Amino acid sequence: MNFTQLSFWTFVVVCLSIYWLRQKQMWQNTILLIGSLVFYASFDLSYVFPLIFSIAIDYWISIQFLKDNARKKNLLYLSLFINIGIWIFFKYSQSFLPLFFNIQNFQTSGFAGTGFSLIMPIGLSFFTLKKIAYVIDLSRGQIEPTTNFIEYACFVAFFPQIIAGPIDRAQNLIPQFQVLRKRQSQNFLDAWPLILTGLFKKIVVADGVGVIVDQVYLSQSPSKLLWLIGTLGFITQLLADFSGYTDISRGIARLFGFETPINFNAPYLSLNINDFWNRWHITLSEWLKTYIFFPVRRWLLKRMKNKADTLAAILPPLVTMLVSGLWHGTGLNFIVWGLLHGIMIATYQISTKSTKSSRAPTITMVMSWLLTMICLIFSWGLFRASSLEWMGSVLTKSPIVNGIEDLSICLSVFSFVIFYTGLYLVEFSIHRWTSKNIWIRSFFYACITIMIFVYSNSISPDFIYTHF
């Protein structure tokens, strides 16, 4: 089941019907946990076993925090070792296991001809970060562990978030499992605009432009213009796909009475790379800052004191974004992508360290935005490329333009960019100036619904970030 499939929405309706039958907290949590496990098992039954195992282990470790404060560090290290170890095993086994077992045709779905099957559990990278944050916050004394296993299991396996986030913090989500959710019409009124907007972004924009992007990046030697247009299409596809997923996730959570965090805030309007990471995949950015960036910075300042000023501006963003690159994928291009963003963040921080914070002139802001977009286009192109060799070949050997075919592709990509931009501007205008006019809002979402049905026969059920 996936968010764009009819079977999923049938599943949601059934879950909601049972969930709201009784106004009891334990009943609601139990139904949510069962529903989450059923949803997760629908992708592959074998996914459920590592999920349940990791939930049980971390729950046991969290309970030990209550019993023995003296062993907090050891418990933290044990949890980190298990969680990171499971993640590395599944994430990087395709790269490393063939080296030890001398197997030629190893794939994530199994060893060819050996009878051994190894499947990367979907959403593993997302719920692993959730569990790591929970245990670290426990070790810091920032939260108290929940002693209710169902509450903790719901926090980790919550089905609107388990596949691709948002990466919700325990401080926000667990308290919502600890209270009774009441059936309110406002929940449904808040949810459906999010769901419809998310489906539009995914089905109409992301899947539409994704067909063109795939053709560009599957080409052996696209022209530089074609690569540029394909990359513009990809950054549109990526934002529409992932923010669409987040909108649907937040809408579904709202149907069940939950408030979950916003994950995107117009990231392509950013004026610098720091601003971009404050707007893009916000929950991941906050996780990286809280558990990687600031600890590394504090460690440097503590060890080197005044001598660490420059190093503290360079090393923390490099380490943080390297971790981000490794989290995203196993290819060398992901590592280079992460380091490139680390270098850009460090450069920005050093260059603005002595700059006053007064408002810049409009022309300066426009140039800052343009420079940021150029950097993002190059880095996202690197992110999407099949290899560094392919990227290098395009930039150094390909012709600038291959003819009229490139121009026709340009028009196709720009039409989807306008589609997405138009949706954002219309929705923003409706919420800002006509929020009380139910007829305008209804007409807007009716148009969106029609387009979803029109394009629904040509969709790809997969969301891009479910592969990370």
Does residue 195 sit within a domain?
no
The residue from 183, 198, 222 where one domain ends is 183
The per-residue pLDDT for 207 is: 84
Does residue 237 sit within a domain?
yes
179 and 277 assigned to the same domain: no
Does residue 199 sit within a domain?
no
93 and 237 assigned to the same domain: no
Distance CA 229, CA 412 (A): 10
Query: pLDDT by residue (tens digit) across 398-428?
Result: 878 777 767 777 777 777 777 667 776 776 6
Q: Mind giving me the DSSP string for 114-159? A: T-------TTHHHHHHHHHHHHHHHHTTSSPPP--HHHHHHHHH-T
The stretch 349-377 carries a mean pLDDT of: 79
Does residue 112 sit within a domain?
no
Query: pLDDT by residue (tens digit) across 292-302?
Result: 999 988 888 77
218 and 161 assigned to the same domain: no
Does residue 462 sit within a domain?
yes
pTM, two decimals, is 0.86
50 and 102 assigned to the same domain: yes
3-state secondary structure at position 355: coil
308 and 212 assigned to the same domain: yes
- Assess whether pLDDT exceeds 80 at residue 436: no
175 and 213 assigned to the same domain: no
148 and 268 assigned to the same domain: no
Least confident of 9-18, 124-133, 349-358: 349-358
Query: pLDDT by residue (tens digit) across 144-170?
Result: 888 899 999 999 999 999 988 799 999
Q: Could you give the number of structural domains in the chain?
A: 2
Burial string for 319-351 (b: 16+ CB within 10 Å, else e) reads bbbbbbbebbbebebbbbbbbbbbebbbebbee
392 and 457 assigned to the same domain: yes
- Assess whether pLDDT exceeds 60 at residue 430: yes
Does residue 280 sit within a domain?
yes
The per-residue pLDDT for 110 is: 35
Per-residue three-class SS string for 8-72: HHHHHHHHHHHHCCCCCHHHHHHHHHHHHHHHHHCCCHHHHHHHHHHHHHHHHHHHHHHHCHHHH
| Domain that residue 274 falls in | 207-352+362-467
211 and 279 assigned to the same domain: yes
Query: pLDDT by residue (tens digit) across 181-234?
Result: 888 888 888 898 899 888 888 888 888 888 888 888 888 878 888 888 888 889
Least confident of 49-53, 215-219, 351-355: 351-355
263 and 377 assigned to the same domain: yes
The per-residue pLDDT for 460 is: 63
268 and 402 assigned to the same domain: yes
The residue from 183, 215, 233 where one domain ends is 183
75 and 128 assigned to the same domain: yes
Distance CA 76, CA 62 (A): 9
Does residue 202 sit within a domain?
no
Question: Model confidence at 131, in pLDDT bands (50, 70, 90)?
Answer: very high
